Structure 1
């Protein structure tokens, strides 16, 4: 997407409107394929598997995380992504990504990966040793965006993340009733996110270098890998410099806030 303005925008008005209503936006070529290839070399090393020997791919998923090496962190700090962060969360209200968070590397396997349930990514209360007690609230304390970084080509058989379109609106309404304390992951999962079961489902597929920027309340799920090559994906949060929902800034509501306002009005 080219723009000759002094401050080019990463996202069009139509894309921002889709983010508000659908809960996500897809950015093709958000980072270079060469960067993804360099990152995969590091990740392959840490899986302990041989990329040329499928007999070593013995588990459906291997979780790696908290990478600070340049080819990985640089992928989250490209100019187009920084401009998109400004557009979706408010200029200067986010912190640059200094770690790529968790990599659930998924391998072709007939076995249930054991982590394919619908969920949202909670964002505070991490001092509790029971992760089911971690929390989210309607102000999205601790998180501005859920992000999906594709470090390998991901087709429909390559375990693409499943997304329930518009589900962030249902979750905003549910969280609003819980006030500042919010709800735990256990609370949220108790109904298996039944309120979002009628949402249209799409797959987070694309070429290496694709990034999905998602509303923090978007309901999503993993799935088994039915393809032939492992899938490499990172899912770091975009952390706030200022609260995601504050109401105290100038310039009107951000798209994150606008989506919550839309759900509650």
Structure 2
């Protein structure tokens, strides 16, 4: 079962996977997250922070349905190759973005840390050991702070990264310049949708201009073998002409 357009992933550096789980499972997950952060969808007076972080660390209930979804697994097989990625036991970290408040200063272009150093810390290198998974737990339209992705920027970044593991917090100017002339796509969708994103695809958060909070998870998926020239003909490698 293949649930994604592999050629689109190769060209763009990301691909949407619709309905990894049914919408009602996404709605159930969102209801649990409201309880977890101690706020209410019916009381906007409590929405005072632009971003509230929470997490799923156990894979309980609807979150387990996400990480164990056959449709998601088929999408990861299509991108990283069967056996090329490691299953997650939980969804992981989730930034919940709220409208009607001044935005957080966390909207710079970047890629997520993708390489572990010998001391256990993480940085960015040209030999990534992860890909990025975005999971939607709410309706996300163009005004609802969808993640921005520079289409095709994975090819640009692959040309400038080396095996050196660098601190992403010090790479802002490089990220700002990489792929700056490329079109920007928005990770919009419905509860239960997901995006598989290349580890070199430059992306960014943005201000919430809508009316309802945006619930999304951003989860690294570990690769069985770090991505490197000559280590396979997967869509991950083909997306950067390796």
Deviation by residue 1:91-131 (Cα, 9 ceiling, x = unmatched) = 112111112121000111240212111110012347879xx
- Find the counterpart in structure 1 of residue 2 from structure 2: 9
Q: Unpaired segments of 5 or more residues in structure 1?
A: 1-7
**Counterpart position of 2:187:** 204
Greater shift in the superposed pair: 158-167 or 239-248: 239-248
| Maintained 8 Å contact 1:147/1:238 | yes
How many Å separate the matches in 2 of 1:73 and 1:165?
Answer: 30
Superposition deviation, residue 134 in structure 1 = 3.9
Alignment match, 2:202: 219
The answer to which structure has the higher helix fraction is 1
Structure 1 window deviating more from structure 2 (101-110 vs 61-70): it is 61-70
Could you list the runs of 5+ residues in structure 2 that have no partner in the other structure?
none
Give secondary structure in 2 for the equivalent of 1:118: coil
User: Closer, same or farther in 2 for the Cα pair 1:187/1:171, shift >3 Å?
Assistant: farther
In the alignment, which of 34, 39, 43 is matched to residue 44 of structure 1?
34
Asked if 1:114 is matched to 2:100, the reply is: no
Q: Which residue of 2 aligns with 1:159?
A: 145
Structure 2 CA distance for partners of 1:181 and 1:209, relative to 1, 3 Å: same
Counterpart position of 1:93: 84
Match of 2:177 in 1: 194
Aligned length: 241
Look up the SS of the partner of 2:160 in the other structure.
Answer: helix
| 1:57 has 2:55 as partner | no
**Cα distance in structure 1, aligned partners of 2:56 and 2:34:** 15
State the Cα RMSD in Å: 2.0
Cα deviations by residue, 1:155-177 (Å, 9 ceiling, x for unpaired): 111111111101111111111xx
Superposed CA offset, 1:201-236 (max 9, x none): 111101111111111111111111111111100011
**How far apart, CA to CA, are the structure 2 residues paired with 1:116 and 1:210?**
22
Query: Does the 8 Å contact 1:59/1:109 carry over to 2?
Result: no
CA distance in 2, matches of 1:126, 1:189: 20
- Counterpart secondary structure, 1:216: coil
Answer whether contact 1:110 1:226 (CA < 8 A) is retained.
no
Q: TM-score w.r.t. structure 2 length?
A: 0.92
Does the C-alpha gap of structure 1 residues 243 and 128 become closer, same or farther in structure 2, counting only changes over 3 Å? Answer: closer
Q: Does 1:34 align with 2:24?
A: yes
